[in-house]
Structure 1
Amino acid sequence: MALRNAVMAALLEGEASGYDLAKAFDASVANFWMATPQQLYRELERMAAEGLITARVVEQDKRPNKRLFSLTEAGRAAVHAYTTERPSRPSAIRDELLVKVQTLDAGDATAVRAGIADRVDLARTKLARYERLRTALLDGRTEEQYLVGAERVGPYLTLLRGMDFERENVRWGELALRVLDGRAAQRCG
C-alpha cells in the first residue's frame, strides 16, 4: 500500500495542515500505517503535483503561514479506485525485537528482556491513547449506536484493529517476560 492511500484516507476527515495530518497519523492512522513527518510532507508535495490534493495558504499572525490540504475530485476518485482493488497479501511481520527473541539463548537475555518490557510499555501507552480516541469517537453512544448512525465507520473499525494489535502485544510480552523470569529463577535457584 502506498503512503498516498493512507494520506487520502486521513484527508477524508477534511482539510488539514501537514502538521495536523502528522498528528492525525499518530492518533488514528498509526494503528495501521506508520510514516515520519518528512515522508508525509514529501508525499503531500507529490500528491499536489499530481492533482490529488490542493493546498491553500492561511496567513497567521505571529506564526508562519500554514498550508491546508484537501482532496480534489481526482483525489476522491483515486480513493474510490483504490477501494476497488483487491487487497494484496496481508503484511508479514518484520520485527527486529522478534529476531532478538529468536536468538536470545545465544545472546544477552537481560537486554532482550528489557526490549520486551519496553515493547509492553509502548503497547500499553498506545492502547490507552486508542481507548481515549474510542471514547471520543463514541461521544456517549454505545458501539452499536455508533456503528449504525455514524457518518463514517472506517476510522472506528481500523481503531478496533489497532487496539486488538496492541492488546496482543501486551499479552505476548507479558507471557514472554514470565517465561524469561521463570527460567532466570530456575538458574539462580
Structure 2
Amino acid sequence: MALRNAVLAALLEGEASGYDLAKGFDASVANFWMATPQQLYKELERMAAEGLIETRIVQQERRPNKRLHSITPAGRAALREFIAEPAKPTAIRDEMMVKVQSMEAEDAPQVRAVVAEQLEWSTAKLNRHERLRTRLLNGRSEQAFLEEAERVGTYLTLLRGIAFEQENIRWAEFTLSVIDRRASAPA
C-alpha cells in the first residue's frame, strides 16, 4: 500500500494541513500505517502535482502561512480504485521478536529492557487510542455511533489498533514474567 492511500483516507475526514495530518497519523492512522513527517510532506507535494489533492494557502499573522490540503475528485477515484483491489496479507517484521527468539541466558537483561520498553510504549499508545475512542463516541454508545455516524471506518480501524495494543501488553507482561522467573530460579 502506498502512503498516498493512507493520506487520501485521512483527507476524507476533511481539509487538513500537513501538521494536522502528521498529528492525525500519530493518533489514528498509525494503527495501521507509519510515516515520518518528512515522508508525509513529500507525498503531499507529489499528490498535489498529480491532482489527487488541492492545496490552498491560508494567510496568518505572526505565524508562517498555513497550507491546507483537501481531496479532489481524482483523489477520491484513486482511493476507490485502491479499495477495489484485493488486500495483501499482513506481513510482520518485528525486530523485537528476533531479539526475543535469539535470547540466551546472558542476553536476558537486555531483552527484558527491550520488552519493558515495548510494554511502556504500547500502554501509552493504548491510552491515546482510548482517548480518541471517547472523543469519537462523544457520549454516545458504540451501537448508537455505528448506526448514526456518517463515516465509521476511523472507528473500526481504531478498534483494531486498541485490540493490537491490548495484545502487545498481554504478551509483554507474560514475557517479562517468564524472563523474571527464569532469572530468579536456582541454576
Q: TM-score range by the shorter chain?
A: over 0.9
Work out whether 1:180 is the aligned partner of 2:175: no
Counting only pairs closer than 5 Å after superposition, residues 3-22 of structure 1 correspond to structure 2 as 3-22=3-22
Q: Structure 1: any 5+ residue segments left out of the alignment? A: none
Alignment of 1:85-164 (within 5 A): 85-88=85-88, 90-105=89-104, 108-164=107-163
Q: CA–CA distance in 2 between the matches of 1:106 and 1:91? A: 32
Gaps of 5+ in 2: none
SS of residue paired to 1:151? coil
**2: CA distance, partners of 1:135 / 1:82:** 30
CA shift at 1:106, angstroms? 6.2
- Partners of 2:106 and 2:24 in 1: how far apart? 39
**Secondary structure class of the residue paired with 1:13:** coil
TM-score under structure 2 length normalisation: 0.98
- Write the distance in 1 (CA, Å) between the matches of 2:81 and 2:186: 59
Q: Deviations over 1:92-148 (max 9, x none)?
A: 111111111011116521011000000001000000000000000000110000111
Is 1:49 the equivalent of 2:49? yes
Please state whether the residue corresponding to 1:57 is helix, strand or coil: strand
Q: 1: distance between equivalents of 2:181 and 2:105?
A: 18
Instruction: Name the amino acid aligned to 1:125.
Output: A
Superposed displacement of residue 55, structure 1: 0.4
Aligned-residue sequence identity (percent) comes to 65
How far 1:24 sits from its partner (Å)? 0.6
- Give the drift of 1:51: 0.4
- Give me the whole-angstrom Cα distance separating, in 1, the residues matched to 2:122 and 2:43: 28
Letter aligned with residue 161 of structure 2: G
Question: How many aligned residue pairs are there?
Answer: 187
Residue type at the aligned position of 2:2: A
> 2: CA distance between counterparts of 1:182 and 1:155?
41
3-state SS of the aligned residue for 1:43? helix
User: Which letter does structure 1 place at the counterpart of 2:146?
Assistant: L
Tell me the SS of whatever aligns to 1:108: helix
Give the counterpart letter for 2:78 in structure 1: A
* Separation in 1, partners of 2:62, 2:119: 41
The CA RMSD measured in Å over matched residues stands at 1.0
Instruction: Tell me the amino acid that sits aligned with residue 54 of structure 1.
Output: E
CA distance, structure 2, for counterparts of residue 173 and residue 187 of structure 1 = 24
For the residue of structure 1 that corresponds to 2:104, the secondary structure is helix
